Amino acid sequence: MLLPLPTDVSLPLYQRIAADYARAMAIGALQVGERMPSVREVMRRHQVSLSTALQMLRHLEAAGHLEARQRVGYFVRHAQGSALAPNSEPDLSQPVQGSDQAHFVGINEHISLLLEQGRQADVHTDIGGCTPPAGLFDHHYLNKVVAKLLREQPTLLVQGRSLLANQGNHPDFQQAMARRALASGIRVAPADVLATTGNSEAVALALAAVASPGDLVAVESPTYYGLLQVVESLQLQTLEIPCSPRTGMSIEALELAFQTQPRLKAVVVVPELQMPLGARMPDAHKARLVALCTAHGAALIEDDSYGLFVETEQPVKPLKAWDNASGHVIYCQAFNKSLAPGLRQGWMNGGRWHGRVQMLKFAQSRNTQTLGQLVVAEVLGSAVHQRSLAKLKQQLRDQREGMARLVARFFPLGTRLSLPPGGLCLWVELPDGFSSAALFAEALAQGIRIAPGSMFSNSGRYEHCLRLACTHPVSPAMEQACRTLGAMACRQLGQAARG
């Protein structure tokens, strides 16, 4: 096991530079046995002092990444396997893929079937689901907050926050969300904050508010399977827009779709750490995307639940920040992955459709539980949560890098993988001829659960891909599981097992 390499900006410079090199090793850009730059090169390249350069190299050595050879220099030590090429860019010359009727009816069943198989199996290593385990959260603090709230507001659980009380949206929660949104450039009045059960309910409400059965919804390709399910459950049809692993949804392809598809009523986008690719959409793209949807009168439904996980010093600007007047962006955010999975607390603002969203929410599930709202309002701005989130991000980063190393070491030659700048998973592309459905079944029989590529599209285009969760520590058991997966994949492709 390698020691974790922290990247928190509050950390010393030498540690941050070390983390960059560790990342290069993780994706195979620096291979085992390769010579590290000399101390002088490091000083020049990073414009640092001698002591910083030395500290950096010794830190990597102590962490097990390098070995020092007397009088020669530092060498990459850990067996990294071969280099991995980054995820492939989409082929924009291909026509945009819509879901035909057959797929439309089938995807929900296909996904449900896979989920059900995963549920029923006796799983010892779960690399399929992307919810961080309980151990990564500070439950002591959350429980204290609950106790405090019930002490201060003893009738909280028996208050029906009904009609007179703002449709179940607690004013403290609304205030907290509006303040938070403002900090990322979004102006939302507290009264226009609608509490939701996680993000799924928010996106489902948004879609139901703006589209009618038979209408088209543009989604990223590949996309989160939950979105494909909700689109189908509302009797809408998806139009899959190619997505770059670096920059997200192709604006050009979407533009073309608007020109040819009059029933295209909504676009659903995860602009930061797109699920499953981990892409971050550049600000210039965001501005164009908002302008494009506004020009076509379409709803741009933004899922901003992963923005919190971006590992950067720069402020992260949601799409909604570009939606200055027309209100075409519907903003959705949930805290189940970042604050407390058990609370399932989220919120949304429906932009120009907010009234309709409110009406639908009220008709279909009435009020959202109050306790969760108050816990989130209390916790979100706190220093304890800031520290806890920073720790969570660091841990996820270590785990992503660790998983990438295991993929590089054990997976077939020709496997591709980009290390995303944050988030909970890796998107792994295997060579043509590989079947992730077959791997899913074979692995499940051995107690290992993965998410096969076919779950992330109606198009059947990602059969050779799979999503690996990076939510669990890279333990010896995980190493063993990746070795097993890699050997199965190699066998499928007629390669010899590696690592």
38 near a copy of itself, judged by CB under 8 A? no
Write down the least CB distance from residue 80 to a copy of itself, Å.
32
- Binding status of residue 134 toward a copy of itself by CB under 8 A: yes
Task: Choose between 344 and 498: whose C-beta lies nearer to a copy of itself.
Answer: 344
Q: What would the two tokens of residue 379 be? A: 């916790």
Q: Which of 6, 27, 126, 219 binds a copy of itself (CB under 8 A)?
A: 126
Residue of 161, 180, 265, 498 that binds a copy of itself (CB under 8 A): 161
Which SS3 state, helix, strand or coil, does residue 321 take?
helix
Place of tokens 């067996």: 79
Separation of alpha carbons 213 and 68, rounded Å: 65
Residue number with CB closer to a copy of itself (294 or 370): 370
Closest CB to a copy of itself among residues 208, 249: 208
What is the smallest separation between the CB atom of 339 and a copy of itself, expressed in angstroms? 9
Least Å distance, CB 137 to a copy of itself, is 4
CB 454 within 8 A of CB 116: no
Q: Could you tell me the smallest distance in angstroms from the CB atom of residue 35 to a copy of itself?
A: 44
Site string for a copy of itself, 440-479 (x = CB under 8 A): ---------x------------------------------
Binding a copy of itself (rule: CB under 8 A), the pick from 158, 183, 383, 496 is 158
Distances (CA, A) of 201 to 283, 303, 358, 360, 429: 27, 11, 12, 11, 31
Q: Which two tokens stand for residue 345?
A: 């607390």
Q: What are phi and psi of 348, to 5 degrees?
A: -150, 160
Span from 44-52, 307-315, 362-370, 481-489 in contact with a copy of itself (CB under 8 A): 362-370
Could you say whether residue 119 binds a copy of itself (CB under 8 A)? yes
**Position 104: which residue type?**
F
Residue 115 touches a copy of itself, criterion: CB under 8 A: yes
Task: Give least dist CB 364 to a copy of itself, A.
Answer: 4
Report the C-alpha gap between 305 and 283 in whole angstroms. Answer: 17
Verify binding: residue 197, a copy of itself, rule CB under 8 A.
Answer: yes
3-state secondary structure 20-61: HHHHHHHCCCCCCCCECCCHHHHHHHHCCCHHHHHHHHHHHH
Binds a copy of itself by CB under 8 A, chosen from 49, 159, 324, 475: 159
Measured between alpha carbons, how far is 99 from 130 in angstroms, rounded to an integer? 26
- DSSP sequence for 438-474: HHHHHHHHTTEE-EEGGGG-SSSTTTTEEEEE--S--
Q: Which of 287, 291, 359, 389 binds a copy of itself (CB under 8 A)?
A: 359
| Least distance (Å) between residue 222 CB and a copy of itself | 18
Task: Quickly count: other Cβ atoms within 10 Å of residue 185's Cβ.
Answer: 13
**Tokens representing 36?**
């590290």
Nearer to a copy of itself, 341 or 431 (CB): 341
From residue 390 to residue 419, what is the string marking binding to a copy of itself with x (rule CB under 8 A)?
Answer: ------------------------------
Collapsed DSSP state (helix, strand, coil) of residue 295: helix
User: Is residue 61 within 8 Å of residue 67, measured between CB atoms?
Assistant: yes
| Cα–Cα distance, 198 to 347 (Å, whole number) | 7
Q: Which is nearer to a copy of itself, 59 or 265 (CB)?
A: 265
Q: Does 13 bind a copy of itself (CB under 8 A)?
A: no
Structure-block tokens of residue 276: 């499953």
- 371 touches a copy of itself (CB under 8 A): yes
Residue 396 to residue 320: CA distance in whole angstroms: 27
Selected binder of a copy of itself within 6, 56, 201, 250 (CB under 8 A): 201
Task: Pick left, alpha or beta for residue 411 (phi over 0 → left; psi -120 to 50 → alpha; otherwise beta).
Answer: beta
C-alpha distances in Å from residue 448, one per residue of 57, 125, 131: 37, 5, 16
Q: How far is the CB of 257 from a copy of itself (least distance, A)?
A: 24
Q: Closer to a copy of itself by CB, 201 or 311: give it.
A: 201
Out of 17, 27, 53, 204, name the contact with a copy of itself by CB under 8 A: 204
Q: How many CA atoms lie within 13 A of 199 on its CB side?
A: 22
Q: Of 122 and 313, which has the nearer Cβ to a copy of itself? A: 122
Check residue 143 for interaction with a copy of itself (CB under 8 A): yes
> How far does Cα 245 stand from its chain's mean position?
12
How far is the CA of 142 from the CAs of 46, 176, 339, 371, in angstroms? 41, 17, 9, 12
Q: Which two tokens stand for residue 328?
A: 């075409």
- Which of positions 329-358 make contact with a copy of itself (CB under 8 A)? 336-337, 340-344
Our CB check for a copy of itself shows the closer of 287 and 441 to be: 441
Give me the residues that bind a copy of itself (CB under 8 A), please. 108, 112, 115, 118-119, 123, 126, 128-129, 131-132, 134-135, 137, 139-140, 142-143, 146-147, 150, 154-164, 166-167, 197-198, 200-201, 204, 208, 212-213, 226, 229-230, 232-233, 235, 336-337, 340-344, 359-360, 362-372, 375, 449
